[in-house]
A and B are shown apart, each in its own frame.
Chain A
Amino acid sequence: MRTYALAGNPNTGKTSLFNTLTRSYEYVGNWSGVTVEKKVGTLLNKIDRLVDLPGIYSLNPLSRDEGVAANFLLTESPDAVLNVIDSSQIERNLYLTLQLLEYRKPLVIGLNMIDVAKSRGIRIHTDKLSQILQVPVIPIVARTGKGTDAILEQLTGMPTSIETPFQLDYGPIVEQAVVACASYLDNLQLELPDTRWLSLQLFENNTAVKESLARMMPMEPLEQLYRQTEDAIVQSGAGLHLPQYLRSVRVAYIQQLCEQCVDRGKQKEHSLTERIDALVTHKILGLPIFLLFMFLLFKLTFDWFGQPVSDMLDAFFSGPLSDGVNQALTALGASPFTHALIVDGIIAGVGGVLVFVPQIFMLFLMISFIEDSGYMARVTLVMDKIMEMVGLNGKAFIPFIIGFGCNVPAIMSARAIEQPKERLVTTLLTPLMSCSARLPVYSLFVGVFFVSHKAIVVFSLYLLGIVLALLLAKLFTSIFYTSEKSMFVIEIPPYRLPQVRSLIRNTWEKGKGFIRKAGTFILGGSVLIWFLSYAGPSGFGVEMDHSFLAKIGGLFAPILAPIGFGTWQAGASLLTGFMAKEVVVSTMNIIYHAPDMAGLESQIQMAFTPLQAYSFMAFILLYVPCLATVGVIKKETTSTRWTLFSIGYALVLAYIVALIIYQGGQWLGFS
């Protein structure tokens, strides 16, 4: 078994290629920084492994996701590297290629996006490029799979070592120093990657390399060599400092290479991209267009598509399915306990959440569209000014948007933010984005209380989340930051019309998590809640008001009274909502003992007033990140303190906001 690593600049189609070569469905999107962890897959030959890595511009990492890729190459020593290049940006991409060639592992170059290059009038002489660099160069279109067979063939037929390693001449001063450095490293007799490559990376001031070497050896001799070499370079007038000099040698080589291998012909502009951008990043219209787009998203999810289909599903669950199960259970002679467990517990709890599948898939479809079209990078541009005012940068909006789907991948995506403190604040605030799991709660309540304004009410909750995140960002950044400077440089990809196939796939990949949750957390939660509602201090089958659930929920009722829902039912559902926020709806289904959605709606209508309902929804939005989100916050911050903080501030915030809504609303005369 051999291991191959995918490496290349961000957004060049590495994951698209990975998916075709391993038949996986990893996350693809049209912006830089989609992949933030390494992903391992088995190649189509069923023997070898392929590793997908985050995109990098050079081997010297700046952000955390880049660190993952650089460290992989440094420590894990793959058998060969598959370098994916965006052909329409070949010159810039070749910079990394040179560093990978110096890495001296067998290399295959996949010239991706050949279709884009062609449409822009760029022609690349692959044979010549391959001949000069002495590695196979294969033109491909990763998103359609064109040319990927050839890649597979090349990779698997690769020799394990290279005969004539690529070597760039950096001039006498550096070459001498490299020899000295390499022999110093060789003499240590450690398991290291190619020492010429390591030396060059050291001279480039590669932080990942330095850190990893510092763990194994004293760095003083190497630092001294670095200073000597730099002095010599500066004195000779060849460069301002050593890294810059090395870069200039490489860039000169690439320029010469491109002159031989790339025909630019007449480069055409992206006329479509130009026209769309003129509108969506318009000075004045940019922000309103973004808000309109979000509003349409909710219209589609709630009014036009999701709700009607959900209603149909609900009719099926509560009608034919329940009846069928009821009859079957009676026919089988099931005990009243089993009967109640299945019908009142599982079907009510899990079914009550599954009816929202259409809405959630619609939402994910829209988010996938934003991700794959290229709009994401534009949103960061439109939002940057506002984000800057609160101490973050436009890139923090990427986790926020992904967070509308699910907070877990959203928090992961914050890895692409360069400044550690900005990343921390973004991580802490992302749970305020209203994810799809809150959607069933909204859907249930707006369906009862705000029938004629569904989309606008839900939209207001999403906005509430964003606005609070911005206000808190201001607060947090002014407390935590001392000196760190905010920065923002964003690469803006050309628009790409998402393929229907990949949209559906992306949507499914996101949505299936919801269905899986229904089978695990929600099922488990429903059974537990049903049991607690069925059992009480006086035995089984008690009146629900005397059940354990009522006792537990009742503990919270007095605290919740000032914010509008001081009932044991609300207390109990909030408690269970920590597992996964959909469980709130399952719990209500079970507690209110509703045979179907209509039944639940009428029950809820009696239990809440519209103002209380709104306060409840806002509380659900804010009160604590779900269990999975807490897990990922812990993983990303590697700090128990911050994890607890994220729970604590959310609880306090939720209470204050709900209090303002309820008391303020009453004062204004709403009910």
Chain B
Amino acid sequence: MKTNTIALSHAQPGCIACIHSISDLDSLVCRRLLDLGITVGSEIRMKRKSLFGGPLTLESNGQLFGIRKQEAAKIEVQIR
């Protein structure tokens, strides 16, 4: 199972991924993502990355949101 998951921060713009694990994520960030309805099993789409490791723009269920790259590195996803 572990073999075909990658860190969300490595996903390419445009690709759709399913969250596999968020156990390493900071609890506050986790809570805010939950508020947006995002948790294990949610489908998210990578929209855009920024330069110098700036925040990533993602989309889930038609909702756009931004998180930091370091945070995204702690989210494991499976690419569809």
Cβ contact within 8 Å between B67 and A488: yes
> A273 — which chain B residues lie within 8 A by C-beta?
64
Cβ contact within 8 Å between B65 and A489: yes
> A283 — which chain B residues lie within 8 A by C-beta?
48-51
> B54 — which chain A residues lie within 8 A by C-beta?
381, 384-385
Number of interface residues of B (CB under 8 A): 29
Cβ contact within 8 Å between A489 and B62: no
Interface residues in B49-78 by Cβ distance below 8 A to A read: 49-55, 57, 61-68, 71
Alpha-carbon gap, A284 to B48, bound state (A) = 12
> B34 — which chain A residues lie within 8 A by C-beta?
247
Known: A62-B31, A95-B37, A283-B49. A491 touches B63 (CB 8 A): yes
Cβ contact within 8 Å between B28 and A91: no
Known: A88-B62, A89-B62, A281-B57. A487 touches B50 (CB 8 A): no
- Return the chain A residue nearest B32 by Cβ: A489
Known: A384-B66, A388-B68, A487-B28. A492 touches B61 (CB 8 A): no
Cβ contact within 8 Å between B66 and A490: yes
> A281 — which chain B residues lie within 8 A by C-beta?
48, 50, 57
Shortest distance in angstroms between B24's beta carbon and chain A's nearest beta carbon? Answer: 13
Question: What is the number of contacts between chain A and chain B, taking CB atoms within 8 Å?
Answer: 95
Cβ contact within 8 Å between A92 and B48: no
Alpha-carbon gap, A377 to B65, bound state (A) = 9
Alpha-carbon gap, A492 to B48, bound state (A) = 13
Residue A57 at the B interface, CB < 8 A?
A: yes
Residue A79 at the B interface, CB < 8 A?
A: no
> A267 — which chain B residues lie within 8 A by C-beta?
62
Residue A485 at the B interface, CB < 8 A?
A: yes
Residue A372 at the B interface, CB < 8 A?
A: no
Cβ contact within 8 Å between B66 and A91: no
> B62 — which chain A residues lie within 8 A by C-beta?
88-89, 120, 267, 270
Alpha-carbon gap, A105 to B37, bound state (A) = 25
Interface residues in B24-47 by Cβ distance below 8 A to A read: 26, 28-29, 31-37, 47
Residue A303 at the B interface, CB < 8 A?
A: no
Interface residues in A342-401 by Cβ distance below 8 A to B read: 377, 380-382, 384-385, 388, 394
Alpha-carbon gap, A403 to B32, bound state (A) = 26
> B37 — which chain A residues lie within 8 A by C-beta?
91-92, 95
Please provide the 8 A-B residue pairs with the shortest distance between their CB atoms, ordered closest to farther: A57-B35, A385-B54, A492-B64, A92-B37, A489-B32, A490-B66, A381-B66, A384-B55
| Sample of 13 A–B contacts (CB below 8 Å) | A89-B61, A91-B61, A92-B37, A92-B63, A273-B64, A377-B66, A384-B66, A385-B52, A419-B28, A488-B68, A489-B71, A490-B67, A493-B64
Q: What is the interface of chain A, defined by CB distance below 8 A to chain B?
A: 57-58, 62, 88-89, 91-92, 95, 120, 247, 267, 270, 273, 277, 281, 283-284, 286, 377, 380-382, 384-385, 388, 394, 418-419, 485, 487-494
Q: What is the interface of chain B, defined by CB distance below 8 A to chain A?
A: 26, 28-29, 31-37, 47-55, 57, 61-68, 71
